[in-house]
Structure 1
Amino acid sequence: MKKLFKRIASVVLLSIMVVSLIACSSDSDDTNDSGESSSSLPKEINFGILRVPNDETLAIAEGLFDKYFTEKGIKCNFIVFDSGVDANKALASGSIDFATMGNTNSIVALSRDIDVEVVWIHEVLGEIEGLAVKNGLGIDKVQDLSGKKIATPFASTSHYILLNVLKEAGIDDKVQLLDMKTAEIVAAWERGDIQGAYTWQPSLGELLKDGEVIVSSKEMAEKGYITANVAVARKKFTNKYPDLVADFISCLTEAADMYRQNPEKAAAIVAEELGITPEDALLQMQGSTWHTREELLSEDYFGTSEAPGNFATIMKDTSDFLQEQESIESSPSQEEFNKYVNPLYIQKSLEKAPK
């Protein structure tokens, strides 16, 4: 009886070993080209995007997300948001993993303890964003806006710049500001409900059909009021999949390199994706500055984990201003912003790049 028990135990033990070896072999073989186990990857990633001519739009149009994610068995979902306000709600609920938004809305996210971090700067805003006024109203300078109705999406980069424009002109308490989404701004403009608006392309282009820009974000950037469209990601995602965040940055970098190498071709691709003319697309793309990974890791922007860059300081200064304007209840500390603007994933993307 004891011999029979030993034989049964031996057979069971051998079976367990065989199953374990098969499982290990399966785990070893089930990897993608970058060495990641497919079982450890998410089934899908949700990206919150803006319909603007940037590196992300170009990457989507060129199918680069397929190269970096779909080929790994990951489905990419792209959800369009008109501004960062709704994107922040989606981030807070966990329904999206990444979101593109103005840096002011990313400040709102941090101030409200939404568990995200800044991982990329798509573009530093310039002439792509501006204060447009209607023709024929005798508005030639900012001071002429006194008593007028001006629209902008609140808590956006446009809102931040507009407040500073009015403050510098000494009329910040003499203008009626209206909170509108970009599509609402165009409709209100056409009805004659507003005399001016601070907004970005492509809605800005619609206003310029019978209006003109009297101040642009490029002019304000030269005065130190820098704004940008940034990519934020949920920390629950970044902590679990840091390599995928690096892949996201590599994807955007490849698209941006296409633009740098052939602006006209890139503009044509973006134009078809957004339903605008290639000329308008190129004009809008040239109205902002697209930086390389190396440039973003400089002291002017992300810096390093040990020596945070100047962009974190700009974010803090902007945050303090937003608190003064009661756009946010409290302004996070400089230390919080230093951690929030995280260079880790750009560094990792560079490390993974072919030598």
Structure 2
Amino acid sequence: MKKFEKLMVIILLIGVILFLSIGCNVTSNEKRREKNQESSLPKQINIGILRVPNDETIAISQKIFNKYFTDKGIQCNFIVFDSGVDANKAFASGSIDFATMGDTNAIVALSRGLDVEMIWIHEVLGDIEALAVKEGSNIHKIEDLVGKKIATPFSSTSHYSLLNALKTAGIEDKVELLDMETTDIVAAWKRGDIQAAYTWQPSLGELLKDGKVLISSRDLAKQGYITANVGLVRKQFAQQYPDLVASFIVCLAEGGNIYRENPQKGATIAAQELEISPKEALEQMKGSLWLTPEEQLSKKYFGTEDSTGGFARTMKDTADFLEKQGAIQNSPTQEEFNHFLNSSYIQEAIQILKASK
């Protein structure tokens, strides 16, 4: 009996040793795997932004990116672009990973074969973009612009909206269009070199100090000419770090939630970041539609991987128009747009947000 008891004790000791050994190996493997994952992450990411009061601006100001990037040892570099034209040049050179731009410049990116895809809609544009004319200029309707000089950044959402406004009025060939950056538009306006300009905030606000709105992107959206500021990512980056792309969208969604839950608070945060008044910021933010991740996946916008939403068709219609106007050389196919809008990262971001509650 004593021999049997000793044998059982030995067997138990061997079992305990084996269990502890296996447990240590599992823990060691998990730590090694976590360390490998961390070492495989990029040291920094470059993000092209617009100086406008949007979800990204709030996320930057509130250091939301720190939670998902900085705390993982990833440095976020935010690079300001005046328009999507320069952002596309940066994408072409591979010097940025993400960028915010108007959907027309996203179309330009696709038509030129840049290796990017669309992953987010920052805002659907309304009163934040508009055609302004000077007070006392005797211009009261679109038709009064005949023979006038009108400035706008070419290939931008403002350019697209302006072209449609002129075409609807039947005067697209009776005005002189000037391609200018937003800062140059303000300077030309003050010098009296131009009589009208289609631009966005904050440059629009400068024009309205002694001007008035003739027609806005909200008005044109009601006519079916929808424009938006969207987010793009380099495909190579997205394929290598899909989790980081989903985390990037989480940052934007959290920034957007701050504004949706408390518009005044969101405006105050954006105002501090952009060095404008909270009143100005709030007016600009109210001039656009901010979508939740769930709304982005609706039939009207992204849709899902199984059912492409309406915004891909809107972008195709826009591309066809831009091709006819000579703004782009070729309009991508509808199938190309369907693949260009990638909703998978938004879907993953929604799961991350749910898990964090």
**Shared fold per TM-score greater than 0.5:** yes
Q: CA RMSD in A?
A: 1.4
Q: Could you tell me which residue of structure 2 aligns to residue 189 of structure 1?
A: 189
Structure 1 residue 353: Cα displacement: 2.2
CA distance in 2, matches of 1:137, 1:221: 26
In structure 2, C-alpha distance between the alignment counterparts of 1:23 and 1:336, rounded to whole Å = 46
Shift in CA distance, 330/245, structure 1 to aligned 2, threshold 3 Å: same
Aligned partner of 1:219 in structure 2 is 219
1:207 maps to a residue whose letter is: L
Q: Which residue of 2 aligns with 1:340?
A: 340
Alignment of 1:57-72 (within 5 A): 57-72=57-72
Q: Give the deviation of 1:204 after TM superposition.
A: 0.1
**Which of 1 and 2 has greater Rg?**
2
Q: CA deviation at 1:332?
A: 0.5
Specify the SS of the correspondent of 1:352.
helix
SS in 2 for 1:45: strand
1:23 to partner: Cα distance:
8.4
Aligned mates of 1:25, 1:55 — CA distance in 2: 36
Of 5, 9, 27 in structure 1, the residue corresponding to residue 32 of structure 2 is 27
CA distance in 2, matches of 1:233, 1:53: 21
Q: Which residue of 1 aligns with 2:264?
A: 264
| Cα deviation 1:271-294 (Å, max 9, x = unaligned) | 011010000000000000000011
Distance change >3 Å, CA 25–CA 142, structure 1 → 2 = closer
Instruction: Output the CA distance in 2 between the equivalents of 1:27 and 1:70.
Output: 21
Match of 1:13 in 2: none
Distance 1:280 1:22 in 2: 54
How many Å separate the matches in 2 of 1:111 and 1:164?
20
Deviation at 1:137, TM superposition (A): 1.1
Partner of 2:171: 171
Identity of aligned residues (%): 64
1:155, 1:61 → 2: CA distance? 29
In 2: Cα distance, 1:352 partner to 1:161 partner:
36
Write the letter of the residue equivalent to 2:43.
Answer: K
Give the structure 2 partner of residue 144 of structure 1: 144
Q: Which residue of 1 aligns with 2:115?
A: 115
Output the amino acid matched with 2:78.
F
In structure 2, the residue matched to 1:312 is: 312
Matches within 5 A, 1:1-355: 24=29, 27-30=32-35, 37-355=37-355
CA separation in 2, counterparts of 1:330 and 1:343?
25
Q: Deviations over 1:200-228 (max 9, x none)?
A: 00000000000000100000001110000
Show CA shifts across 1:126-165 (max 9, x none). Answer: 0000000011110000000000000000000000000000
**Deviation of the 1:27 alpha carbon:** 1.9
Please state whether the residue corresponding to 2:225 is helix, strand or coil.
coil
Structure 2 CA distance for partners of 1:342 and 1:25, relative to 1, 3 Å: closer
Q: Residue 110 of structure 2: SS of its match in structure 1? A: helix
Counterpart CA distance in 1 for 2:353 and 2:53 is 25
- Structure 1 residue 24 displacement after superposition: 4.5
TM-score when normalising by structure 2:
0.91
How far did 1:306 drift? 1.4
DSSP 3-state at the match of 2:232: strand
Q: Which amino acid aligns with 2:189?
A: W
Shift of residue 29 of structure 1?
A: 4.7
Q: CA deviation at 1:62?
A: 0.6
Shift of residue 22 of structure 1? 11
Question: In 1, Cα distance between the equivalents of 2:176 and 2:354?
Answer: 54
Gaps (5+ residues) in structure 2? 1-24
List structure 1 segments (4+ residues) > 6 angstroms apart after TM superposition. Answer: 20-23
Q: Which whole-Å CA distance do the structure 2 matches of 1:148 and 1:104 have between them?
A: 25
